[in-house]
Amino acid sequence: MDEHLPEGDWKHLRSVEAVALNRYCARVLEEVAGVIGRTEGLHHERYLRLYAVVEDRDRELARAFNDLRRSTAIQHLAGWIRLHLLTDEELGGFSQDTLERARR
């Protein structure tokens, strides 16, 4: 089976990539704001927690968005689905076959 996306799905993936990335970053910034906004504990403890969150989310972002090619598109789409970065309407722009492959 060809692991590459059909042309229409590839174009749709590229059209929603920035939206998915923006949603991911907004979610991370909200999480970071929550860590920064806490007042309990030492400043150093909060800093270490902030650093850990940013480091974890940066690794997650890299897995979900770096090196997007047609040959890796299914894996990227699967990550976006797992992270709930696309709406049902946006997912509806993909072929049924592509969605099934991404959800496996």
Q: 37 pLDDT band (50/70/90 cuts)?
A: very high
User: What rounded mean pLDDT belongs to the chain?
Assistant: 94
pLDDT at 1 over 90: no
- Burial of residue 18 (number of CB atoms within 10 Å: 0-12, 13-18, 19+): exposed
Q: What percentage of the chain carries pLDDT values higher than 90?
A: 91
In the predicted model, what is the mean pLDDT of residues 72-90? Answer: 97
Q: How far apart are CA 20 and CA 42, in angstroms?
A: 35
pTM of the model: 0.89
In the predicted model, what is the mean pLDDT of residues 28-48? Answer: 93
pLDDT at position 40 is 87
pLDDT at 3 over 60: yes
Q: How far apart are CA 77 and CA 88, in angstroms?
A: 13
